[in-house]
Chain A
Amino acid sequence: MENNMAPHTFVAYVEDKPGVLNRVASLFRRRTFNIESLTVGHTDQAGVSRMTIVVDTDDLGARRVEANLYKLVNVLRVDDVTAQPTVERDLALIKVAARNGKRAEIMQLVDVYRARIVDVTNDSLVVEITGTEDKIESMVDILRPFGIIEMVRTGVVSMTRGAMAPSANPPLVAAMIPEAALN
């Protein structure tokens, strides 16, 4: 992996069985791919979980990630959605200090970001924000001068736009063919 490193986003459907998360995480560790974020949750289908995995790698590395994920017996389907139009969301809870009459100022900023206040005490607020990673990072930067006491983020979840749903038979082999064939 060389110069053109960039975040690649994969959506993986996996069997909901014990140890599957470990298998996926172990794969990334073993092949020395660095996970930027990994989220996992149920889908509308019983027995199937959905992972959104963001990996910093180049294009060839992304193909290898995809191929190696497919090699895991419990992985049902993998989509590299990096180049597709997607809705990407991250959720953060930010506990911020709100002393000395700063509360109103913070609430104004929260409003600008269309975030929400979900907890209030005499000297703190908990802000809930959903959005792209950029938006959340921007909010964090704005709140930092007030004093961030604690923060938690879910990591990115991602879904392609439009009516297209993942088909039952993915174009697996096409995805395995190097794009730069025959220069």
Chain B
Amino acid sequence: MKLTGAKIIWECLVREGVEIVFGYPGGTILPAYDAMLDYPIHHVLVRHEQGGTHMADAYARASGRVGVMFATSGPGATNTVTGLATAMMDSSPVLCITGQVAGSLVGLDAFQETDVTGVTLPVTKHNYLVTRPQDIARTIREALYIARTGRPGPVLVDITKDAQQKDAEFDWDAAAPSLPGYRPDLHALPEEYEKALHLIRSAKRPVILMGRGVLQAGAMRTVQEFAEKTNTPVAMTLLGIGGLPANHPLNLGMMGMHGEAWVNHAIQQADLLLAFGMRFDDRVTGNVKTYAPRAQKIHIDIDPSEINKIVKVDVALVGDLCDVLQELAPRVQAADHSEWLAHIDEMKGDSAVRDIQNLPDTGHLYAAHVIHDLWRATKGEALICTDVGQHQMWTAQYYKQDRPFNFITSGGLGTMGFGLPAAIGAKLARPNAEVWSISGDGGFQMTLAELATAAQEGVKVNAAIINNGYLGMVRQWQEFFYDKRYAATPMLSPDFVKIAEAYGLKGIRVTQRSEVHDAIREAQETAGTVVIDFRVEKEDSVYPMVPAGADLHNMIRRPIPPKEGDYLVPQNVLVESGVDVEWDISVK
């Protein structure tokens, strides 16, 4: 049957099961928008293409389906770049369809023309420029296939306006993906399994490093069974959180720059690291030269280019995590490791007394208290989306996730402004979930225009702002490493309650710990989106902290509280060891 290119786009998307798309119309994508009205598609009008791309990203992360974003050419398309880069770093399957100026104008600096495939080349898994209507069907099908298979990632399809307008024969079957160079299904060699089994058998102090790959592969249960059978403790990356219930006795918690001391010490003392779907990010390893020096390393990942990229490993099992573990797990022997687990428990004891959760409540509002109280009020079952920074780390530390896919955050790229649009996208993917965004006052201002999207769509999310009047994490670095010279970090914010009200939404301000619980209740009981402005302690810091480039075991620890009842924010940071280390301070 003959269809316009624009109709072919929707034919393909609908047949592929797409029901919701996010987008922002404009000149060159108009034919596609016009055709959209004839298809069963729910279009979410965003307020900025960055926010829209984050929504598509979070929609994908919350549902496991591909999130779809539409934008027009030029500025519309370039506005998606931050969202695409975010999705790329965190391996999230996003399809971004952009309009392009007519084929006859491409390359002539036409109005709203940008070389979008050129611009997005390094931040997409693959991209396409389509100039003929007969190529649209195959391209859309290939793009969706590439986005969701192998190591998932964003794919951009740039379609010229005339290709959308012209007719072409639409043949679904003939447009099946043809990708001779694409290999999403790799398998490890048998001898590598033998080597891995040998290492696992002889390990006395093993640690599993759980990354987002575990969730991507749906291997949560398999990994848990593996850990239980071998009694191996599990450390989580930021994006691995939820892959093993936080209350599981083998779950150590988050590793890395703001990981708890016992987690990082366990890694440094381990004799075997089992890296499951993680990529040894620098926020996880600290100084690579001194990283886990006594450990043999087994790396299981679907992406062969991650092998030996940062940390040289002893065995690499390339492939789908489920497949690899199904091969491996039945052949490993049950192990005890009780001595090792007891040793880690002992290290925990020391750290726990420093935790702010164990400090007396003096009425001061600490972010950690807010997040702890939110965790309790939501029974730990809420789907939480965050930006990047202090609030993100406190959320990772204090919102104990027992379920997978309930923590959505910009890990790799560290994108401010991710949280609110992500919450909207996640809520549309999982309407029955209780969804909260947690942002700082800085990040929230980057994408708060999406409150209008939530209002227009009638989407119910709750937006918590951890408002400390600073760009908090940058301020913390300035406090620790730049002699408290607060260059450009004190930040004025608008009245967020009035902002919410201006969008026709409810806003609540909280300044005392005693008000936290009631505010959360009120937000939960309100029908529409609610913004809560938590005015927290201004110069609070995230502990522990491994300074960038420092050894993983050289943490700045939580200050020891002086006496019960008179806790003050400490002025001096306590360095547990390695005081004289010259830190390589390279700010991201």
Contact = CB atoms under 8 A, between A and B. Distances in A.
A18 B183 CA distance: 21
B315 A176 contact: no
A177 interface: yes
A163 B318 CA distance: 31
A179 to B, nearest CB: 10
Interface string B118-161: 10011001100100000000000000001000000000000000
B314 interface: yes
B180 interface: yes
Contact of B314 (A60, A71, A181): A181
Chain B's interface size range is: 20 to 34
Given A30-B122, A176-B316, A181 B181 contact: no
Interface in B294-335: 303-305, 307-309, 312-316, 318
A76 B122 contact: no
B111 interface: no
Interface string B195-238: 10011000000000000000000000000000000000000000
Given A173-B189, A178-B307, A14 B315 contact: no
A60 B117 contact: no
Interface stretch (A19-27, A81-89, A103-111, A114-122): A19-27
Contacts of B179: 73
A19 B156 CA distance: 14
Contact of B195 (A23, A26, A76, A181): A181
B189 A73 contact: no
A71 B312 contact: no
Interface in A52-107: 60, 63-64, 67-68, 70-77
A172 interface: yes
Interface string B536-552: 00000000000000000
Interface in B170-208: 179-183, 186-189, 192, 195, 198-199
Given A67-B304, A68-B305, A176-B307, A182 B314 contact: yes
Contacts of A64: 305, 308-309
Contact of B307 (A67, A77, A182): A67
A46 interface: no
B447 to A, nearest CB: 27
B156 to A, nearest CB: 13
Contact of B183 (A15, A22, A68, A172): A172
A15 B181 contact: yes
Contacts of A63: 307-308
Interface string A157-170: 00000000000000
Contact of A19 (B117, B125, B303, B305): B117
A68 B306 CA distance: 9
A69 B305 CA distance: 9
A22 B316 CA distance: 30
Nearest to B188: A173
A180 B312 CA distance: 9
A178 B316 contact: yes
A3 B227 CA distance: 39
Given A177-B316, A178-B307, A182-B315, A76 B181 contact: yes
A4 interface: no
A67 B150 CA distance: 14
Chain A's interface size range is: 20 to 34
A148 to B, nearest CB: 37
A183 interface: yes
B304 A70 contact: yes
Contact of A173 (B117, B315, B318): B318
Contacts of A178: 307-308, 312-314, 316
B244 to A, nearest CB: 27
Contact of B312 (A60, A72, A76): A60
A30 B120 CA distance: 13
B124 to A, nearest CB: 10
A68 B186 CA distance: 14
A71 B307 CA distance: 13
Contact of A71 (B187, B305, B316): B305
Nearest to B121: A26
A30 B121 CA distance: 10
Given A70-B183, A173-B186, A182 B195 contact: yes
A67 B312 CA distance: 15
A174 B188 CA distance: 8
A104 to B, nearest CB: 52
Nearest to B299: A178
A173 B181 contact: no
B314 A173 contact: no
Interface string A1-38: 00000000000001100110011001000100000000
B287 to A, nearest CB: 16
Contacts of B188: 173, 177
A46 to B, nearest CB: 13
Contacts of A68: 305
A30 B305 CA distance: 14
A71 B303 contact: yes
Given A64-B308, A67-B305, 7 more contacts: A15-B180, A22-B118, A22-B121, A74-B181, A173-B189, A176-B186, A178-B312
Interface of B: 117-118, 121-122, 125-126, 129, 146, 179-183, 186-189, 192, 195, 198-199, 303-305, 307-309, 312-316, 318
Q: Which 6 A-B pairs have the closest CB atoms?
A: A67-B305, A176-B304, A67-B304, A76-B181, A73-B126, A68-B305
